[in-house]
Structure 1
């Protein structure tokens, strides 16, 4: 008897204001869990140093992106600080059907779009900084944005944080290691949900039949 139960894949959504540490946490989760896969989004922004086409993002032109929008090819898409980001429906559907768990690092707008189609296959985690000052310092210390962009991100942070109640879990990123462990525990627990285990009924029926046959002996 095969005790491996087929399971639907799930979408793990990780959202937070810019600077709260979601990229660092996502990288650590992917490194720690071989069964967790990164969602590779399409984007119109230019590649950053060391980013690879098809591995980090699918880099496409704005015209090509808008063509996919018009043809309803995206499960979610958003304009973030002038750049377009989107996730292809075909990629999401294939992952779920093949039992793969995919980690999405997206904002609340993308999350709301995914809920419309994949509500039962999603686990939503919202990360918060311990203080607003901590958020400001993180944005300044990573030295990847101009002062004007940092100011835009800080002004937007309050609106982003107002969507915390739309998520299943809220984690305050005060200690990085504890945050990573907490979210990994969430993922492991969600994998055991009864409704995700497609072959559970057949598995239990097999066990019961074996028990009935034993009782007849």
Structure 2
């Protein structure tokens, strides 16, 4: 452990691996709202946050579990299609509150090309928010719709292993091979709910 008269103990949230204060400082200096994306093993959150001296104020938010409760989503709640739909929902809500642009805040998540955090950002952009992210960072359209999951489940079905890997999908009444069509259906419901088409 570091010692000595010049050693400075890192702030608590940095020690816990929750906040990168250097990145946060740079984002707050921009003066723009942040499109905050956080993911866990089972869920994804997307929030539009404005920094104030008294603390962050959440203007709009969406949670991937809302897709199940409100829109009849039968797929996983932490995969790429669910990430995109969560971002779309948060973006539409932010537009309703008058937010037109934001900067992406992925926290301590690694910025991997085609990653889930960028699927959330793509959802926010498709909703109408202006978020500066390079096009090469987004997952492909097929990946966003879950075509890769449908192909994999088809391979597993041939080996007789689909029940082992997709028990949650099957218990909700969704054949994983039909995920892209289900994605389109849920996306349409969300857009209709917020006056889109």
Considering only CA atoms, is the larger Rg found in Structure 1 or Structure 2?
1
Between Structure 1 and Structure 2, the one with more strand by share is 1
Q: Same fold (TM over 0.5)?
A: no
TM-score by length of 1: 0.27
TM-score by length of 2: 0.29
Kindly indicate whether structure 1 or structure 2 has the higher relative contact order, using CA contacts under 8 Å at least 6 residues apart.
Answer: 1
